[in-house]
Amino acid sequence: MTAPYTAAALEPEATAPLIMALPKGRILEQCGAVLARAGIVPSPDYVNENTRHMRFATNDPNLDVIRVRSFDVATFVAFGAAQIGICGSDVLQEFDYSEVYAPLDLRIAKCRVCVAEPAETAGSDDPSRWSRVRVASKYPNIARRHFASRGVQADIVELSGAMELAPMLGLSRLIVDLVDTGSTLRANGLVVTETIADVSSRLIVNRTALKTQPEAIGALIEQFRKALEADFCG
């Protein structure tokens, strides 16, 4: 069988391939490894950071993958533009989309959502006595909920990157961001003061798509479940 590496275009829904949304950037490689264990091989261009293509065929003629920003994976799946995807639990927690079902923890891209602040102010006063605090984050909902749960109003300065600069430039007192090794924080004079949540990547599906195409989507979930079991046992 020849590899069908041509992404299908404009087919009627019944015959169109399923779309799997995958995050570009830092965890692309780890996603590729999980896909391979599940028997899914995207066209070689999928790992080419320079290509302008965003949709790629796979070795399964009924499945194409799209490469989007990690925050957008959940949105594509929630609105049914993609039926399945791989998404960080941080993003799921931030958006809390009711249409997204997350059946499997893929146990990759592990990190934490943390509160951090400059080493020199950390511990200098009691956060439970604050009434409000300014926080820079790309997670406005997670940050707001976290501080609200202890009666503190968080005024969020929403940034999409370089959060670590905010305290040193007076933009905010604290940041809420992903921390893996902690070296980015250390390089910018910041320390973790709290962990809000442990994070890993999840397989996600659109609930309506799962109801309307249970066999095709159920089979894909099963492929990932088996790959995880094999990984866990082996």
Residues that bind ligand AMP (CB under 6 A): 26-27, 109, 111, 177-184
Residue 208 C-beta: closest distance to ligand AMP, Å: 28
Residue 112 C-beta: closest distance to ligand AMP, Å: 8
Residue 207 C-beta: closest distance to ligand AMP, Å: 25
Pairing of strands 55-57, 63-68: antiparallel
- Quote the CA–CA distance of 90 and 139 in Å, as a whole number: 8
The amino acid that residue 144 corresponds to is R
Residue 233 C-beta: closest distance to ligand AMP, Å: 25
Judged by CB, which is closer to ligand AMP: 60, or 164? Answer: 164
Contact between 96 and 197 under an 8 Å Cβ cutoff? The reply is: no
Judged by CB, which is closer to ligand AMP: 60, or 177? Answer: 177
The amino acid that residue 161 corresponds to is G
Residue 160 C-beta: closest distance to ligand AMP, Å: 10
Judged by CB, which is closer to ligand AMP: 50, or 181? Answer: 181
Pairing of strands 190-199, 111-118: antiparallel
Judged by CB, which is closer to ligand AMP: 135, or 179? Answer: 179
Contact between 149 and 196 under an 8 Å Cβ cutoff? The reply is: no
Specify burial of residue 84 (Cβ count, 10 A radius: 0-12, 13-18, 19+): buried
Residue 182 C-beta: closest distance to ligand AMP, Å: 5
- Quote the CA–CA distance of 218 and 185 in Å, as a whole number: 41
Judged by CB, which is closer to ligand AMP: 98, or 183? Answer: 183
Judged by CB, which is closer to ligand AMP: 21, or 217? Answer: 21
- Quote the CA–CA distance of 97 and 10 in Å, as a whole number: 27
